[in-house]
């Protein structure tokens, strides 16, 4: 369809300013980017927490369903980062957002992931929609919100500055595959931050 006033031959020319990061990569021949996948998951997590704000406290079926989806996303996202993203950051990162090293960044990340996993598991100890359940959801949201902000400011920034486009693409494909394989959930396990980093350094 041609818009009024535009000729049939008009073809909008994308510029770097109006392209998203992933579109820019696509133009360069790299169609997926792990930093985009992680940001998209973070957005989805924020969105699902916002849905819980909107649902009436008495509608426990809806609250339980949306929380169940969010819990799976939180657990699988953290496990995918630990399996695929952070091992690579430990190899090529130098510290981002004021951190002194990738090892220091990553130890903080594993501590955060443990805190989020524990807070999310606590939600399941309470009746859906109860005050205690709501408070446990708030606690999970707080831990996750703090972690996402730090991860975006430090770890994703560090990775973008050091990873090749090909590596960003390859991890993105593995990350998407991992999440697809665990779409129904994963056995979320806390990890020792020191051992995690030492085993991969």
Q: Which of residues 63-92 bind Fe ion (CB under 5 A)?
A: 81
Terminal CA-to-CA distance of the chain, rounded, Å? Answer: 55
Quick one: which segment of 24-32, 59-67, 90-98, 150-158 binds Fe ion (CB under 5 A)? Answer: 150-158
Quick one: which segment of 2-10, 147-155, 162-170, 171-179 binds Fe ion (CB under 5 A)? Answer: 147-155
Quick one: which segment of 29-37, 134-142, 149-157, 167-175 binds Fe ion (CB under 5 A)? Answer: 149-157
**Cβ-contact 39, 152 below 8 angstroms:** yes
**Cβ-contact 116, 123 below 8 angstroms:** no
Cβ of residue 8: shortest distance to Fe ion, in angstroms? 45
Cβ of residue 38: shortest distance to Fe ion, in angstroms? 5
Q: Which of 76, 38, 87 is nearest to 196 (CA)?
A: 87
The residue among 80 and 137 lying less far from Fe ion, judged by its C-beta, is 80
Cβ of residue 6: shortest distance to Fe ion, in angstroms? 42
Tell me, by CB under 5 A, how many residues bind Fe ion: 2
Q: Which of 201, 191, 190, 171 is nearest to 80 (CA)?
A: 171
CA atoms within 13 A on the CB side of 146: 12
Give the phi and the psi of residue 110 in degrees, each rounded to 5: -65, -40
The residue among 131 and 146 lying less far from Fe ion, judged by its C-beta, is 146
Question: Which residues sit at the interface with Fe ion, rule CB under 5 A?
Answer: 81, 151
């Amino acid at each position: 369809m041609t818009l009024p006033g535009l000729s049939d031959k008009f073809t909008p020319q994308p510029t770097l300013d109006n392209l998203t990061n992933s579109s820019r990569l696509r133009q360069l021949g790299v169609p997926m980017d792990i930093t985009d996948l992680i940001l998209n998951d973070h957005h989805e997590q924020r969105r699902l927490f916002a849905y819980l704000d909107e649902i009436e406290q008495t509608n426990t079926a809806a609250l339980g369903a949306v929380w169940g989806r969010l819990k799976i996303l939180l657990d699988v996202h953290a496990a995918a980062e630990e399996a695929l993203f952070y091992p690579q950051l430990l190899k090529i990162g130098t510290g981002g957002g004021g951190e002194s090293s990738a090892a220091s960044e990553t130890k903080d990340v594993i501590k955060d992931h443990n805190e989020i996993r524990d807070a999310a598991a606590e939600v399941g100890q309470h009746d859906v929609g109860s005050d205690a359940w709501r408070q446990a959801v708030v606690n999970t949201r707080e831990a996750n919100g703090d972690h996402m902000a730090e991860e975006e400011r430090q770890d994703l920034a560090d990775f973008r500055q050091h990873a090749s486009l090909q590596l960003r693409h390859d991890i993105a494909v593995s990350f998407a595959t991992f999440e697809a394989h665990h779409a129904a959930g994963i056995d979320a396990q806390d990890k020792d931050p020191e051992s995690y980093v030492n085993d991969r350094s």
